[in-house]
Amino acid sequence: MTKRQSGPDLIRSIACFFVVGAHFYLNMNYYNEPMAGGKMFVMTACRWLFVTAVPLFFMLTGYFKKNKTADREHYMALIPLVVSYVVISVAKMILYNRLYGRIYGIREIFVNLGNYQIAWYMGLYLCVFLLIPFLNKAWYALDKREQNILIGTMAFLCTIYPVWNYIAPSYFIGTYPVLFYFLGMAVRERKWRPNRLLLIGILGVTLFVEALISMKLTSTGTFDWNLISTADGTYGTLFISICTVCIFLLLYDTDIKNGAVRAILASISGVSFEIYLFAGAYDAIIYGFVKRYMTSAVEAFWWFFVTVPLSFICAYLSSIVFHFTVSKISGMISGRLIKKV
């Protein structure tokens, strides 16, 4: 039996926390806050760090699914994700109706499930999931030199435009999941192990530069979505790509010896998608309370260390209960079907 790798579990757990951390900014009006002061600088650097969550998830997908083919096993793996998405999203919409008044009727529930407004990442991941067998075919059809050129080409097409609006048009920014998928495959196969101090230095400098540019060069006085990023292409920006790769290379081959820590990380990793889905519901409750007393991100600066861990823990525990319940129901259904046969 192959020993479970703790490094990828650590990355997935951190990425989950980053997702919940990024929600702080949406819920506490960070994007309407004047870009000035030490607290805003720290929050801005952290904001850029947290948005690496999505690219990290796609690198992990490439890392683990590099050998998947277009067979029944691959497509059946999508069913648990769809079940989680539908059940938890419907529960969230019912909760939002309770908190904010009637927003979602039966028709609106079906519409929002279909257009992924309640959980946009599901739609993005679904499309990449369907492409995985063919991305793998394309990758293995190339030799090592051609694979390197492919990654370089994808990096150029996906990351340059948000930083420098010339040469490569913006059309290809949205293909960033493919870039990170291929990067995950490459790390798994080539086992890159750069100097960790160098990676930490590059990560720190990149976050500092991102925060400095965001603070000093904003044309709006608030966070400028079109400065070194775009509103719908943030995850493909050059700086985010650098940070993502640094974090992944820092942690992917980490060997954690403590059994309890390994078990916790594996548990979080196993319900990471459900944590993402549940977190929005707990955010609505938690930040609804916090905003009774403060409305700005700067005022709520220290609340981050309460609201984000609390939302994360609640989402994690709910995900564990959800998985346990679904597995029990699935087992009962399977047992009855077998008896009938």
pLDDT given for residue 294 in this prediction: 86
User: Does the pLDDT at position 320 exceed 50?
Assistant: yes
Of 3-12, 84-93, 246-255, 322-331, the least confident: 322-331
- Alpha-carbon distance 63 to 55, whole Å? 12
Domain ranges of the chain: 6-340
- Alpha-carbon distance 136 to 322, whole Å? 32
pLDDT digits (tens, 9 = 90+) for 245-302: 999 999 999 999 999 999 999 999 999 999 999 999 999 999 999 988 888 899 999 9
pLDDT given for residue 280 in this prediction: 92
Q: Which residue has the tokens 């603070």?
A: 215
Identify the band that residue 162 occupies on the pLDDT scale cut at 50, 70 and 90.
confident
The first and second tokens of residue 207, run together, are: 């976050």
154 touches 174 (CB < 8 A): no
Q: Which residue has the tokens 């980053």?
A: 18
- Alpha-carbon distance 236 to 163, whole Å? 10
Q: Which of 339, 337, 317 is nearest to 329 (CA)?
A: 337
pLDDT digits (tens, 9 = 90+) for 77-119: 999 999 999 999 999 999 999 888 878 899 999 999 999 988 9
